[in-house]
Amino acid sequence: MAETGELAGRRESALLEVRGLRTNFNTKHGSVRAVDDISFSMARGETVGIVGESGCGKSVTALSIMRLISEPGRVEGGEVLFGGRDLLKLSQSEMRKIRGNKIAMIFQEPMTSLNPVLTVGSQISEVLRLHERLNRRDAAARAVEMLSVVNIPAPEKRVHEYPHQLSGGMRQRVMIAMALCCKPDVLICDEPTTALDVTIQAQIISLIEDLKDKTGAAVMMITHDLGVISGISDRVIVMYSGRIIEEGTKMDVLTNPLHPYTEGLLNAIPRIDLDCDELKVIPGMVPNPAFLPEGCHFRPRCADARGICLKEPQPVAAAGNTGPRTVRCWKYLPDWRSA
């Protein structure tokens, strides 16, 4: 009862809601489904982590929401509801007003995400001038302010510098400043720390968390690093070959994984407090999206697989200790016992 109430409450306050999103890529092997029927929602001030291996559709999901999928890819179906409108139906110019203004995005590679021939200050003020119609001087002043918000020392000097004069961590801070300067409602971070070393990673994560608290933005944190997830997220979505296989609060998913894949992922993390000679791995490889196995996509690698797994599993609500959760596995469906 309490769970359904909370679920309903979240539905109402949902800032961004994705329903049944499908994105395909046309290849020589035919149409490849990179994102298959993804549905989730994000509330104001919430951090949602999306975890999964390379190629599982995390980034494609983010790019589909931003309408950045280009040929040969295509969003085939679904809705992305934001502020009462379906983003997938907006015109290009309406979409431009939302990008960078209402929904901002940070990329994985800070080294190449900034234009090498423009100063960092001019790149931040460009966003401000575009969306807030600030004049040159006000925008430049705000750019300095934003650099100090993201903890860059001597911001009034740094605004005049070029990207090659900054380190990777500093550039990622500039990217965050660019993303947050118009106070977006949603911030999508596509592996923001993957290219950084561990200490800088933690700084960037705590900075994003800190700024999220200040601005009340919802953050979508895409990562393959469960350490990042445990550091930031309220809720975790686990993806495997284009589908959401498990969703729940961070505590539930990380301490009590339901799906065999999530369990395998967590077991694969080396632990400093346990002695072991060999690291645990999940056997097998991620399936090629052009030739997906029948039924559950994880079936060929799953130790628990039974005959019923050849059929498509449907998401099922499960009991969580700290919030509602769903899992997409036959193990939690009534048919399992008879299978």
Q: Give me the least distance between CB of 100 and another protein, in Å please.
A: 4
Q: Is 88 in the site for another protein (CB under 8 A)?
A: no
The binder of another protein chosen from 273, 275, 277, 278 (CB under 8 A): 273
Q: Is 249 in the site for another protein (CB under 8 A)?
A: no
Looking at 122-130, 137-145, 283-291, 312-320, which segment touches another protein (CB under 8 A)? 122-130
Rounded to 5, what percent of the chain is helix, strand, coil? 40, 25, 40
- Give whichever of 80 and 178 is closer to another protein, judged by the CB atom: 178
Q: Is 114 in the site for another protein (CB under 8 A)?
A: yes
Q: Is 143 in the site for another protein (CB under 8 A)?
A: no
Q: Is 14 in the site for another protein (CB under 8 A)?
A: no
Inter-residue contact 49 to 231 (CB < 8 Å):
no
- Give whichever of 99 and 297 is closer to another protein, judged by the CB atom: 99
Q: Is 194 in the site for another protein (CB under 8 A)?
A: no
Size of the site for another protein (CB under 8 A): 58
Inter-residue contact 28 to 4 (CB < 8 Å):
no
* CA separation for the pair 48, 232 (Å, rounded): 9
Three-state SS at 114: coil
- A 10 A CB-CB count for 338 gives 6
Inter-residue contact 105 to 190 (CB < 8 Å):
yes
Q: Is 290 in the site for another protein (CB under 8 A)?
A: no
- Give whichever of 59 and 241 is closer to another protein, judged by the CB atom: 59
Q: Is 269 in the site for another protein (CB under 8 A)?
A: yes
What string marks each residue from 36 to 75 as x (binds another protein by CB under 8 A) or -? Answer: ------------------------------x-x-------
Instruction: Report residue 52 CA to chain centroid gap.
Output: 10
Angle made by CA atoms 33, 314, 286, in degrees to the nearest 5:
45
* CA separation for the pair 99, 204 (Å, rounded): 22
The binder of another protein chosen from 50, 175, 221, 239 (CB under 8 A): 175
Q: Is 245 in the site for another protein (CB under 8 A)?
A: no
Q: Report DSSP letters for 131-199, one per residue.
A: HH---HHHHHHHHHHHHHHTT-SSHHHHTTS-GGGS-HHHHHHHHHHHHHTT--SEEEEESTTTTS-HH
What residues line the site for another protein (CB under 8 A)?
Answer: 66, 68, 93, 96-101, 104-105, 107, 109, 112-119, 126-127, 130-131, 151, 153-154, 157-158, 161-162, 165-167, 169-170, 175, 178-179, 198-199, 201-203, 206, 210, 226-227, 230-231, 254, 266, 269-273
